Amino acid sequence: MPRLDTRIVLDEDYDPTLGRKISRFKQKKRSRHAVLDEIAQRVSLEALGADVAFNPTLGAKLHEREWIFTYLGPLYDSEYITDVLRRVKGGKEANVYLCQAHPSLKREFIAAKLYRPRMMRNLRNDARYRANRQILNSYGKTDFKDSALRAVRKGTSYGKELTHTSWLQHEYLSLQILYDAHLPVPEPVFAGDNIILMEYIGDLDMPAPALTETTLTHREAVRVRDILIDSIDRMLGLNRIHADLSAYNVLYWEGQPVIIDFPQAVSPLENTEAWDIFLRDVTRTCQYFERYNLGLNPRRLALQIWLKHQPPPDAAARRALEEMDEENEDPQP
């Protein structure tokens, strides 16, 4: 049997349990999948002619279920996913879900990072990372329209929506740039309304743990340290600074680290606080390896990497590096 065209249900406001039209669908703009799910609670989908319908395996509360139908339902229609299996990670900004990938993607699973709707997020603390950043529209293109720039500056509803969309698109763009350069990040697959689809790291039974939850041997620690420091170096060479890098945002799976969560990524060419943000990334990364007694000097390491790609952040920083060289300290990796 063909899929039920729920547009008919919505357009006609028809409640099959009552046998008459009702008005609440006009009053509430809801996902067609959410409406069908509500109908299915009272009438079997088979009776409606819908033997193939989006019916996620994930057991979720009413609000989350409607959220899933609204934003992941279109990915089911577009044949990116066939099921939502579990919530892998929850946060103030976004939830990550493990989804069954559509066979056309030639992979078994895929991760869906579902941002909370704009009204549920607090962007006030993100101004530091958005400073001088270009506004990207829903297609990931730079939006130079004066009306858009004014709306963002004034903080209108339209401006906040643009800011939210741009925030998501910047993460997707960073993933594309870094993945194409063969850095250890998840492969980006699709970006849409409040959603980013990307490579899932883990298996059905267990998502990849964060590095903070992993105990390494000393030899493994040295190898992972080298990979992460090399990644930080190469990212800066691509004019990308993670801006929230720590062992919490590094997954560890099958012996390999994978860096995640790039919405705050900044460019050293645009952000006037780029050096301070970069130094913080390097410092937090080095802090994880203190438990393995690897003897890292975060500031020295950050300066060495920075000066390979960027001019000195300030005269004092350059003098500090010269003084450390004069002291003949052991070179850091």
Residues 53-77 have pLDDT tens digits of: 788 888 777 778 888 888 899 999 9
pLDDT of amino acid 70 = 87
98-148 per-position pLDDT tens digit: 999 999 999 999 999 998 765 445 555 677 767 767 777 776 777 666 776
Label residue 9 by pLDDT band (50, 70, 90).
very low
| Cβ contact 140:171 at 8 Å | no
Could you give the maximum distance between any two Cα atoms of the chain, in Å?
87
140 Cβ partners below 8 Å, 6+ apart?
Answer: 169, 172, 173, 191
Distances, alpha carbon 90 to alpha carbons 97, 98, 115, in Å: 9, 12, 10
Q: Provide the whole-model pTM.
A: 0.79
pLDDT higher at 33 or 9: 33
Q: How does pLDDT run across 176-213, given as a tens digit for each residue?
A: 999 999 999 999 999 988 899 999 999 999 999 999 99
In the chain, the percentage of residues whose pLDDT exceeds 90 is 50
The region that residue 49 occupies, defined by phi over 0 for left and psi between -120 and 50 for alpha, beta otherwise, is left
- 3 state SS of 185: coil
Per-residue pLDDT, averaged over 160-168, amounts to 75
d(CA 223, CA 203): 23
Residue 2 has pLDDT above 70, yes or no: no
142 by DSSP, 3-state: which? strand
Q: What is the model's pLDDT at position 97?
A: 96
Query: Tens digits of per-residue pLDDT, 208-230?
Result: 999 999 999 999 999 999 999 99
Name which of 17-21, 205-209, 290-294 the model is least confident about: 17-21
What's the burial of 166, exposed, middle or buried (CB within 10 Å: 0-12/13-18/19+)? Answer: buried
Domains and CATH numbers, the chain: 1-53 (no CATH), 76-198 (3.30.200.20), 211-326 (1.10.510.10)
When mean pLDDT is compared across 37-51, 187-201, 284-298, the lowest value belongs to 37-51
By three-state DSSP, how is residue 115 classified?
strand
